[in-house]
């Protein structure tokens, strides 16, 4: 099976390169599309909560109520897009989806504070945007609590010197991503999905296209062996996909300023194994599909769940146990662990060797399976 | 004398459907061997088994002395193949297609130069060698495909309905090329459903429903047909053919172009009886002439003798 003929393999690869780069437009797409996608998704996939649209109903209309409103705006997390006197206005804005959060300061807020009574503020969030609502609510709670404490301290200070109180000093630090920017976390993952998509796109039509135009039959009556055909189609794609990986890595580093703390060699080796797994799957789809349309649909049937299960958007540890095991079959999941590790944490071979081995094993076994499947379908 | 192809009891079934049913024949070296039959007769399946694309369900076969079951690697080096599906890369130039297919057969160096020149000249594409193959007219593409199929100078060339969908002039040109190859000693194994193409072959195998129903020279096949045939000119051919089915002395009536070919048991008697018979059905007869049986007539008659229907 592996008695490969170098000349035939060379011919096959040369033909693939020629066909791929024949149309200058499609050649440009190969290298411009990943960059555009990374730029687009790099900005789009952003889970930071900033400038949350907020509606304020200030029924109190006092200096204290304005102070509270100012504190909320000053944080940068909220942007007041509407004000009103009646709660109905807030409900209306919420129903229309024009605001995500509403703050209602009741009549007598300032009076309660002055009298030393418990003052209350109502905060409403749009729960249909669960993620944003959760984060925004957290920020709002912090701001309002701090406002309350500060006010209490002022009242106490007026009454006389404060007794010494030993509080607990809370100091949080986020390692690897000190400002907790979601972009730092997401851009490397977007790179991973782009490389997978390109590998699948380049290979899933590779064999079935020839089946449709009839050249596959011509190849099968020639001395060309299945392994030569599969490798001849694989190797050019490996080179193209590696070039794309270099390109998107460059954009991530230079444009988005994502930190890179690990080793480029590790990223290259892991990338190579990842690309092998991706185009192995693509070729498998291509060899078992009867038409290009069928291949295209199968590709998406694989690609979308692979993204969902990869931990790209939803952390794997939040999934039910069964699904967590299923994610082990997902090459994207393993590669995302590598890119996040190597970019942000500077993880080395000792930590990431497992993922790399899994990707390599996946790539080789899927390619081998595609070759044998192909042998059977044509024999 | 060794045979280019010899096949014994070759059979291929797809589930319950037997596409090729115990076919036995052989092909001499240097012969133009025609495989004739309607679509679905099993021609393509047979060729696929001979070229190693499909494994036989049972039976034996040898191509250029190699077993089709166990030695397909050897066979693939020594055969040329061109199918009804046009099979060159449209997005490669003429030169690039030639280089690619030559490379698959390890034709290189000086020999590649020679063969390239030969193919370009034969297909008349020397002036268009840098053009994209996809832009060429179909007839040219077909000649180029033929050239690419014989770059490695195989002793035998398999052609599976090579001229389907081509205009008659191109088809004629294509057959001139086939003759050129045959003159140089290449065995040609060609399948077709064009009856006039079958006339060009040295020997013909007639296939119907997976079975070989006759195998001989075209002239012999024609003269072996015993019953005379009359060509009937009438205004309404289909109605006439219908009216004659089952009439006394009539074996078969079928459309042939715009005329009706009537197979009869006695030419003289039928010539006399036919006008009256049709007149009683309100059909006018403009003329009755005896004709030499065409291969199509032979084919229809053989199928009838077999007791089966032609599938087409």
Asked if B231 and B281 count as a contact pair (C-beta separation under 8 A), the reply is no
Domain boundary among B200, B221, B242: B221
Decide if B92 touches A, using CB distance below 8 A.
yes
Q: Which of A303, A245, A250 is nearest to A278 (CA)?
A: A303
What's the pLDDT at B140?
86
pLDDT tens digit sequence for A198-226: 899 888 888 888 888 888 888 988 999 88
Mean pLDDT of chain A: 86
Task: Tell me which chain A residues have a C-beta less than 8 angstroms from the C-beta of B82.
Answer: 218
What's the pLDDT at B226?
66
Residues 19-48 of A with CB under 8 A from B: 19, 22-23
Instruction: Please check whether residues A147 and A195 belong to one and the same domain.
Output: no
Residue in A with minimal Cα distance to B97:
A15
| H-assigned helices in chain B | 43-50, 72-78, 94-104, 109-123, 138-149, 168-183, 195-198, 218-223, 237-244, 267-279, 295-306
Q: Is residue A368 domain-resident?
A: yes
Q: Is residue B82 domain-resident?
A: yes
Q: What is the CATH number of the domain that holds B283?
A: 3.30.70.100
What's the pLDDT at B309?
56
Instruction: Please check whether residues A110 and A155 belong to one and the same domain.
Output: yes
CB-closest option in A7, A23, A214 to B86: A214
Decide if B111 touches A, using CB distance below 8 A.
no
pLDDT tens digit sequence for A135-177: 888 888 888 888 888 888 777 777 777 676 666 767 777 777 7
Is the pLDDT assigned to residue B224 strictly greater than 80?
no
What's the pLDDT at A180?
66
Q: Is residue B215 domain-resident?
A: yes
Global ipTM:
0.80
Instruction: Please check whether residues B41 and B83 belong to one and the same domain.
Output: yes
Q: What is the CATH number of the domain that holds B10?
A: 3.40.50.300
Q: Is residue A209 domain-resident?
A: yes
Task: Tell me which chain B residues have a C-beta less than 8 angstroms from the C-beta of A15.
Answer: 89, 92, 96, 100
Instruction: Please check whether residues A105 and A208 belong to one and the same domain.
Output: no
Domain boundary among A98, A125, A159: A159
Instruction: Please check whether residues B211 and B113 belong to one and the same domain.
Output: yes
What's the pLDDT at A179?
66
pLDDT tens digit sequence for B42-60: 888 999 999 988 889 999 9
Classify A138 as helix, strand or coil.
helix
Instruction: Please check whether residues B134 and B170 belong to one and the same domain.
Output: yes
Q: Is residue B208 domain-resident?
A: yes
Instruction: Please check whether residues A248 and A277 belong to one and the same domain.
Output: yes
Helices A206-213 and A292-308 cross at an angle (nearest 10°) of: 170
What's the pLDDT at A2?
53
Instruction: Please check whether residues A343 and A234 belong to one and the same domain.
Output: yes
Q: Is residue A71 domain-resident?
A: yes
Residue B263's domain comprises 226-292
Which residue out of B55, B84, B103 would a mutagenesis test of the A interface target, given it has the greatest number of A Cβ atoms within 10 Å?
B103
Sheet containing B211-216: give its strands across: B79-82, B156-160, B187-192, B32-36, B203-208, B211-216
Instruction: Please check whether residues B197 and B111 belong to one and the same domain.
Output: yes
Task: Determine which helix (DSSP H) or strand (DSSP E) holds A61, and give its type and residue range.
Answer: none
Task: Tell me which chain A residues have a C-beta less than 8 angstroms from the C-beta of B83.
Answer: 214, 217-218
Helices A292-308 and A264-288 cross at an angle (nearest 10°) of: 140
Q: Is residue A175 domain-resident?
A: no
Interchain contact, B89 vs A215, CB within 8 Å: yes
pLDDT tens digit sequence for B254-286: 887 778 888 888 777 778 787 877 788 787 788
Of A157 and B105, the one with more pLDDT: B105
Instruction: Please check whether residues B102 and B234 belong to one and the same domain.
Output: no
Decide if B183 touches A, using CB distance below 8 A.
no
Asked if B239 and B283 count as a contact pair (C-beta separation under 8 A), the reply is yes
What's the pLDDT at B311?
46
* Rounded Cα gap, residues A131 and A153, in angstroms: 34
Classify A128 as helix, strand or coil.
coil
Instruction: Please check whether residues B280 and B189 belong to one and the same domain.
Output: no
Asked if A256 and A226 count as a contact pair (C-beta separation under 8 A), the reply is no
Instruction: Please check whether residues A101 and A11 belong to one and the same domain.
Output: no
Going residue by residue through chain A, which has 379 residues, state the pLDDT in tens, using 9 for 90 and above. 457 888 899 999 999 999 888 878 878 888 898 999 888 888 887 777 778 899 999 988 898 889 899 988 888 888 888 888 888 888 888 888 888 899 999 988 888 888 878 888 999 988 887 778 888 888 888 888 888 888 887 777 777 776 766 667 677 777 777 666 777 888 888 889 999 998 998 888 888 888 888 888 889 889 998 889 888 998 999 999 999 999 999 998 898 888 888 889 999 999 999 999 999 999 999 888 888 899 999 999 999 999 988 888 888 888 888 888 888 899 999 999 898 888 888 888 888 889 899 999 999 999 899 888 877 555 4
What's the pLDDT at A178?
67
Number of domains in chain B: 2
Instruction: Please check whether residues B178 and B288 belong to one and the same domain.
Output: no
Q: How far is A93 from chain B (nearest CA, A)?
A: 58
What's the pLDDT at A1?
44
What's the pLDDT at B139?
83
Q: Is residue B302 domain-resident?
A: no
* Rounded Cα gap, residues A219 and A223, in angstroms: 8
Instruction: Please check whether residues B203 and B123 belong to one and the same domain.
Output: yes
Instruction: Please check whether residues B55 and B163 belong to one and the same domain.
Output: yes
Which residue out of A1, A211, A218 would a mutagenesis test of the B interface target, given it has the greatest number of B Cβ atoms within 10 Å?
A218
Instruction: Please check whether residues A13 and A56 belong to one and the same domain.
Output: no
* A343's tokens: 């970019």
Is the pLDDT assigned to residue B308 strictly greater than 60?
no
Residues in chain B: 312
Instruction: Please check whether residues A285 and A196 belong to one and the same domain.
Output: yes
CB-closest option in A22, A222, A379 to B104: A222
What's the pLDDT at A318?
83
Interchain contact, A221 vs B51, CB within 8 Å: yes
Q: Is residue B81 domain-resident?
A: yes
Q: What is the CATH number of the domain that holds A66?
A: 3.40.1710.10
Q: Measured over all CA atoms, what is the biggest interatomic distance in chain A, rounded to whole angstroms?
A: 100
Decide if B138 touches A, using CB distance below 8 A.
no
Q: Is residue A371 domain-resident?
A: yes
What's the pLDDT at A379?
46
Instruction: Please check whether residues A281 and A195 belong to one and the same domain.
Output: yes
Number of domains in chain A: 2
Mean pLDDT value of segment B156-172: 85
What's the pLDDT at A298?
92
Confidence of residue B36 (pLDDT cuts 50, 70, 90): confident
Instruction: Please check whether residues B142 and B56 belong to one and the same domain.
Output: yes
Residue A120's domain comprises 52-159
Q: Is residue A94 domain-resident?
A: yes
Residue in A with minimal Cα distance to B152:
A222
Long-range pairs for B103-106: beta carbons < 8 A, 24 or more residues apart: B103/A7, B103/A8, B103/A10, B103/A11, B103/A14, B104/A8, B104/A11, B104/A219, B104/A222, B104/A223, B104/A224, B105/A222, B105/A223, B105/B77, B105/B151, B105/B152, B106/A5, B106/A7, B106/A8, B106/A223, B106/B152
Instruction: Please check whether residues B181 and B74 belong to one and the same domain.
Output: yes
How far CA B237 is from CA of A194, B245, B262, in Å, comes to: 66, 13, 11
Interchain contact, A223 vs B76, CB within 8 Å: yes
Instruction: Please check whether residues B152 and B58 belong to one and the same domain.
Output: yes
Q: Checking DSSP bridges between strand B3-14 and strand B58-63, what pairing results, if any?
A: antiparallel
CB-closest option in B54, B103, B158 to A7: B103
Q: Is residue A173 domain-resident?
A: no
Instruction: Please check whether residues A360 and A233 belong to one and the same domain.
Output: yes
Task: Tell me which chain A residues have a C-beta less than 8 angstroms from the C-beta of B89.
Answer: 15, 19, 215
| H-assigned helices in B150-203 | 168-183, 195-198
What's the pLDDT at B312?
41
Instruction: Please check whether residues A32 and A63 belong to one and the same domain.
Output: no
Q: How far is A248 from chain B (nearest CA, A)?
A: 29
Interchain contact, B92 vs A19, CB within 8 Å: yes
What is the percent of chain A with per-residue pLDDT over 90, rounded to a whole number? 23
Q: Is residue B25 domain-resident?
A: yes
Instruction: Please check whether residues A238 and A364 belong to one and the same domain.
Output: yes
* A36's tokens: 């555009």
């Amino acid at each position: 099976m592996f008695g490969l003929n170098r000349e035939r393999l060379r011919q096959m690869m040369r033909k693939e390169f020629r066909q791929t780069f024949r149309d200058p437009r499609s050649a440009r797409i190969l290298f411009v599309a990943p960059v555009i996608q990374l730029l687009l998704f790099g900005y789009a996939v952003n889970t930071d909560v900033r400038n949350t649209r907020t509606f304020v109903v200030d029924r109190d209309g006092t200096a204290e109520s304005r102070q509270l409103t100012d504190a909320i705006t000053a944080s940068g997390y909220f942007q007041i897009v509407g004000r009103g006197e009646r709660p109905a206005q807030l409900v209306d804005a919420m129903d229309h989806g024009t605001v995500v959060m509403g703050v209602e300061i009741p009549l007598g807020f300032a009076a309660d504070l002055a009298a030393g009574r418990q003052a209350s503020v109502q905060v409403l969030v749009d729960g249909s945007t669960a993620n944003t609502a959760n984060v925004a609510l957290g920020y709002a709670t912090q701001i309002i609590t701090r406002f309350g404490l500060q006010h209490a301290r002022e009242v106490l200070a007026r009454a006389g010197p404060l007794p010494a109180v030993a509080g607990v000093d809370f100091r949080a630090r986020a390692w690897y991503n000190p400002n907790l920017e979601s972009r730092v976390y997401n851009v490397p993952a977007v790179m991973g999905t782009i490389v997978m998509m390109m590998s699948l796109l380049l290979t899933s039509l590779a064999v079935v296209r020839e089946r449709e135009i009839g050249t596959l039959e011509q190849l099968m009556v020639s001395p060309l062996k299945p392994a030569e055909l599969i490798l001849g189609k694989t190797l050019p794609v490996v080179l193209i996909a590696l070039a794309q990986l270099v390109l998107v890595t460059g954009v991530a580093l230079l444009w988005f300023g994502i930190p890179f703390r690990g080793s480029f060699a590790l990223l290259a080796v892991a990338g190579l194994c990842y690309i092998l797994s991706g185009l192995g799957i693509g070729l498998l789809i291509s060899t078992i599909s009867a038409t290009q349309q069928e291949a295209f649909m199968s590709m998406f049937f694989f690609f979308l769940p692979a993204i969902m299960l990869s931990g790209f958007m939803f952390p794997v540890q939040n999934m039910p146990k069964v699904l967590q095991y299923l994610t082990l079959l997902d090459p994207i999941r393993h590669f995302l662990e590598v890119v996040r590790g190597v970019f942000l944490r500077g993880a080395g071979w000792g930590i990431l060797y497992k993922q790399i081995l899994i990707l390599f094993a996946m790539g080789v076994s899927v390619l081998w399976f595609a070759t044998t499947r192909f042998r059977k379908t044509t024999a | 004398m060794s045979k280019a192809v010899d096949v014994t009891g070759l059979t291929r079934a797809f589930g319950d459907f037997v596409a090729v049913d115990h076919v036995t024949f052989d092909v001499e070296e240097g012969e133009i061997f025609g495989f004739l039959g309607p679509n679905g007769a099993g021609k393509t399946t047979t060729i696929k088994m001979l070229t190693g694309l499909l494994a036989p369900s049972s039976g034996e076969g040898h191509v250029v002395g190699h077993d089709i079951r166990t030695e397909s690697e050897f066979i693939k080096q020594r055969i040329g193949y061109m199918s009804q599906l046009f099979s060159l890369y449209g997005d490669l130039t003429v030169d690039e297609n030639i280089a690619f297919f030559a490379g698959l057969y390890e034709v290189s160096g000086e020999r590649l130069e020679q063969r390239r020149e030969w193919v370009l000249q034969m297909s008349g594409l020397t002036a268009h060698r840098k053009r994209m193959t996809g832009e060429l007219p179909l007839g040219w593409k077909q000649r180029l495909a033929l050239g690419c199929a014989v770059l490695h100078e195989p002793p035998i060339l398999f052609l599976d309905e090579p001229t389907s969908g081509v205009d008659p002039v191109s088809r004629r040109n294509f057959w001139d090329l086939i003759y050129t190859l045959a003159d140089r000693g290449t065995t040609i194994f060609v399948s077709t459903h064009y009856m006039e193409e079958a006339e060009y072959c040295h020997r013909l195998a007639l296939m119907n429903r997976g079975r070989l129903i006759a195998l001989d020279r075209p002239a012999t096949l024609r003269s072996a047909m015993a019953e005379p045939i009359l060509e009937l000119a009438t205004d309404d051919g289909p109605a006439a053919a219908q009216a004659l089915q089952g009439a006394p002395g009539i074996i078969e009536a079928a459309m042939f172009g715009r005329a009706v070919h009537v197979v009869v048991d006695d030419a003289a008697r039928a010539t006399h009886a036919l006008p009256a018979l049709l007149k009683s059905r309100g059909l006018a007869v403009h003329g009755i002439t005896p004709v030499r049986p065409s291969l199509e007539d032979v084919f229809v008659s053989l199928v009838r003798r077999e007791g089966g229907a032609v599938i087409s």
